Structure 1
Amino acid sequence: MKVLTLWQPYATALVLGIKKVETRSWATNYRGELYIHAAAKSYKEIIKIIGSEKAKQLTEYLSRQSNYKSIKELPYGAIIGKVEIIDCKQQFLIMDKWPEINSLEINWGDYSDYQRFAWRIANPVVFDNPISIKGMQGLWNWEGDTDGEF
């Protein structure tokens, strides 16, 4: 199974269906089911990287859409759900064409360079029981068993 590791709160936003486009500096030809792994990076490290104001804004929105009230409560170091990649295009090709690209979506992604790539996501699923596992960079393969895990 293909897996992508993301920082929180982006991983949770993707499997909840709040975030509908994943932005990357690289394209993928892969289409299909993609397991989402929440990186083990601590919330304190993430806040340092994305900034406290951005972290607060994203977490407040996430708390209105889910049972999570703080970035501290989110799962870390685990596969937390799955989505489906249905398309991948350079951002400059889709900015006015994909209805998902709105002000909310732009706030959840990195649209700073139109040369970046937008991965169109569908069919989000949250696992009731996250699967603890070490993540990796890029798309990676996991051969684990998900029977009864979600």
Structure 2
Amino acid sequence: MGSRNRGDVNYRNPCLTMHQPWASLLVYGIKRIEGRSWPAPITGRLWIHAASKIPEPETIKAMEDFYRELYAVNGVTDLKFPEHYPVSRLLGCVEVVGCVTCDELVNWDQIPEGVRLEGQTKFCWLCEQPQKLIVPFEMRGFQGVYNLERKIYEAAIRGISPVVPPLPVKFPLPNPRDPFSLKPRSLVSSPSSSSTSEVNNRSENLVAAIAGARAAATQFSKNGNPLSNTFEVGDDSRTGKRYRRAQ
């Protein structure tokens, strides 16, 4: 599976640093939507790195409860979560097939209801084909999407293994002849009767799980932006340039 980067030569082997437990949930195929305040700058393979912050047990429980309830909406009740949520490790990769707005996702009748409910931020990166590293290895991350060092990429590509998601999802393209047609405002986002009914008929458990997931995400926010990282700032001795590394 090669990278499809829409001609952006700045991204060779793009990687994203994420906090746990979100990072492992994505690589294990449980999380299908990566929510951000900014649109996805790439399509194709995206490597996932776990930041150094050790997740609180309450955060792990909130997110696992969230996904239990989302999958139960579609009849999946036997989710198997990761046994561990390692930090400061490269975990694996996913295939980003596109990006849509939250409003578009919520009203997208062609995908399962649980996936529609997963979007909780302005932009929703659509992720398929998770693969995990058999042995995650230590590295440090950076802000935003960045390129893996070549030696890290070469080691990682030899150690990844496909993951079978609990509910595989294939996001349909608006234009089947254009692999890059899934982009913000590419879908009709007017509320449908079915999506309105789904919102009105949510169970108390689901409502509580969504509230818990939102609360867990905002612990990293200074300005209401879920999952905003903290960063170390310094100088790269090799290039002399300033950097910001995700903590």
TM-score, normalisation: structure 2: 0.48
Question: Is 1:78 aligned to 2:84, yes or no?
Answer: no
Overall identity of the aligned pairs, in %: 29
Segments of 5+ residues of structure 2 without an aligned counterpart are 1-12, 69-77, 161-247
- Alpha-carbon contact 1:20-1:100 (below 8 Å) kept: no
Query: Whose relative contact order is higher, 1 or 2, with alpha carbons under 8 Å and at least 6 apart?
Result: 1
Distance 1:118 1:88 in 2: 5
- Compute the displacement of 1:104 (Å): 8.9
CA-based RMSD:
2.5
Task: List per-residue Cα deviations over 1:55-112 (Å, max 9, x = no partner).
Answer: 32324668951451xxxx3111011010010010111122110625527953xx5x1x
- Compute the displacement of 1:118 (Å): 0.3
- Compute the displacement of 1:43 (Å): 2.1
Segments of 5+ residues of structure 1 without an aligned counterpart are none
Question: Is 1:65 aligned to 2:80, yes or no?
Answer: yes
Distance 1:129 1:83 in 2: 16
Change (3 A) 1:100 1:130: farther
**Number of residue pairs aligned between Structure 1 and Structure 2:** 133
Distance 2:17 2:117 in 1: 19
- Alpha-carbon contact 2:15-2:146 (below 8 Å) kept: yes
- Compute the displacement of 1:149 (Å): 3.3
SS at match of 1:43: coil
Normalized per residue, the structure richer in strand is 1
Runs of 4+ in 1 over 3 A off after TM superposition: 59-64, 147-150
TM-score, normalisation: structure 1: 0.76
- Alpha-carbon contact 2:33-2:115 (below 8 Å) kept: no
- Residue type matched to 1:58 in 2? M
Distance 1:59 1:40 in 2: 20
Larger radius of gyration: 2
- Alpha-carbon contact 1:89-1:119 (below 8 Å) kept: yes
